[in-house]
Amino acid sequence: MASSSPVVNGDISREALKQTNMSMKERFEGLSVWREKQREEKEFLEGRLDEARGRMEALSLHNQELSRKVEEQEGGGGAEGKGQDGTANHNAELEALRAQLVRLQAEKSDLVAMNSELQLKTGQGSEDDSFIEIRIAREDTGKDLYHNEKDSRYDMSASRQESEELTVSQLLQSLRKETQRVERLQIELEAARSRITELEEKETNTESSTQTSLLPEVVSPALATTACGTEPEPEEEPQQNSGKEKSENDRLKLQVDSMKAQGQLEQRKAGEERTNLTQLKDAYTKLFEDYNELKQESKNREPLVTKEVGDLQTRLGAAEKALAAKQQQIDVMKQEIYQKEKELETISVFQAQ
C-alpha cells in the first residue's frame, strides 16, 4: 500500500508526457504542411510573374508599332490640299489609334490588378492599400497629361517603397514566430526531462521504502517469539504453553506468507514502473530528436526564406518599373493623339477656307 501514491503520480506524469508528445508531433506535422503550402504558393507566384512579364513584353512591342504608325501619320499629315478622301483616311486611322489606346489601357489595368494580386499573395499589403494607384488621364489637354504622368510616377515609387517595407516587416514577424515556437518546444522538453527525473527518483524511493517496511513486520514477530521462548515456563502447565506456541507459530507463518505475497506484488509493481519508465525514456528520446530536427530545419530554412523574399522584391520592383514605363508610353501616345487631332482641326479649317 505504500507505493499507491507514487503509482498514481507516475500515471499522471506519463499521461502528461504522452499528451506533450502528441501535441509536439501535431505541431511538427502542421509545420510540414505549412512549408509545403509556402512552396506551392511560391511556384504559383513565379508562374504569374513570368506570365505578367510576357504580357508586358508583348505590350511594349505593340506600343512600338503604334508609335511608328503615329510617326508615319505625322510625316504624311503636313501636306495640305490632298482632298476630302485623304482627310477621311486620316480620321479613320486616328480612330483606330484611339481604339488601340483604349485596349492598351485595359490591358494595363489587367497588369495592375495582377500585380496587386501578387502583392496580396506575398502578404505585402492590406485591403486598403493593396492596389497600385495609377492615374489615367481623361482630359486631352497637355497640362493634364503632364500632371497625370508626374502623379503616376510618384504613386508608383510610393507603392513600391511601402510594399518593400511591408515585406520585410512581415518576414521578420514570421521569423520571430518561428523562434518563439522553438523556444516553447525547448521549454516543454526541459519540463519533460524534469518529470522523467522525478519519476526515477520516486521509483527508487518506492523500492527502498518497500524493503524497509517489510523488515520490521518480519523481524518483530521473530523477536516476540524469541522473547517468549526465553521466558521460564511454569512447570505446572507445559501442555498449555506448547499449544500456545504452536498456534503462535502458525499465525507467524501465515503472516510471513502474507508479507512474502505483498513483497512479490510490490516487486511486480516496481517492474511495471521500470517498464513504463523505459517507454517514457524512449518517447522522450524520440521527442528530443524531433525537436532537434525541427530546430535544424528552421535554421536551414532561414537563409532560403531571406533569399526568396529578396527575389520576390526584385521581381515586384521590375514589374512596377515596367508598369511605370507603360504608363509613360500611354501618356506620350495620348499627347500624340491630342496633337494629331489639333492638326486635323487645322486641316479642316484650311479645307473650309
What whole-number distance in Å separates Cα of residue 284 and Cα of residue 291?
10
Q: Which residues of 235-270 are buried (b: 16+ CB within 10 A; e: fewer)?
A: eeeeeeeeeeeeeeeeeeeeeeeebeebbeebeebb
Element (H, E) at 149: helix 142-230
Q: Which pLDDT belongs to residue 216?
A: 52
Average pLDDT, the chain: 68
pLDDT tier, 103 (very low <50, low <70, confident <90, very high otherwise): confident
Residues 6+ apart with CB under 8 A from 282: none
What number of other Cβ atoms are within 10 A of residue 287's Cβ? 21
Which triple of cell numbers denotes residue 220?
Answer: 518483530
pLDDT tens by residue, 248-267: 888 888 888 888 888 888 88
pLDDT at 176: 67
Report whether 39 contacts 101 (CB < 8 A).
no
pLDDT in tens, 160-170: 556 555 655 66
Instruction: Give the residue, 283 or 134, on which the prediction is more confident.
Output: 283
Going by C-alpha positions, the residue among 326, 330, 334, 331 that lies closest to residue 115 is 326
Between the alpha carbon of residue 216 and those of residues 19, 219, 253, 264, the distances in Å are 41, 5, 15, 17
Report the pLDDT value the prediction gives residue 15, as an integer from 0 to 100: 74
- Among 133-147, 186-200, 203-217, the range scoring the smallest mean pLDDT is 133-147
Mean pLDDT of 166-188: 67
Q: What is the mean pLDDT of residues 35-42?
A: 79
Instruction: Tell me what percent of the residues of the chain surpass a pLDDT of 70.
Output: 56
pLDDT at 174: 63
pLDDT of residue 164: 55
Q: Look-up: residue for cell 519508465?
A: 277
In the predicted model, is pLDDT for residue 122 greater than 50?
yes
Higher pLDDT, 204 or 304: 304
What is the per-residue pLDDT for 54?
77
Which of 196-200, 282-286, 334-338 shows the lowest per-residue confidence on average (mean pLDDT)? 196-200
* Residue 283 confidence (pLDDT) above 50: yes
Instruction: State how far the Cα of 282 lies from the Cα of 268, in Å rounded to an integer.
Output: 21
Whether residue 327 has pLDDT greater than 80: yes
Per-residue confidence band for 156, with pLDDT thresholds at 50, 70 and 90: low
Q: What is the reported pLDDT for 12?
A: 62
Distance, CA of 291 to CA of 140 (rounded, Å): 66
> Residue 293: is its pLDDT beyond 80?
yes
pLDDT confidence of 149, banded at 50, 70, 90? very low
Please tell me the least confidently modeled range out of 12-26, 78-92, 138-152, 275-289: 138-152
**pLDDT tops 60 at residue 234:** no
Q: Which one is predicted more confidently, 5 or 36?
A: 36
For the chain, give the percent of residues with pLDDT over 90.
0
Region of 123 (left: φ > 0; alpha: ψ -120 to 50; beta: rest) is left
DSSP, residue by residue, 87-103: HHHHHHHHHHHHHHHHH
Measured in residues, the chain has a length of 353
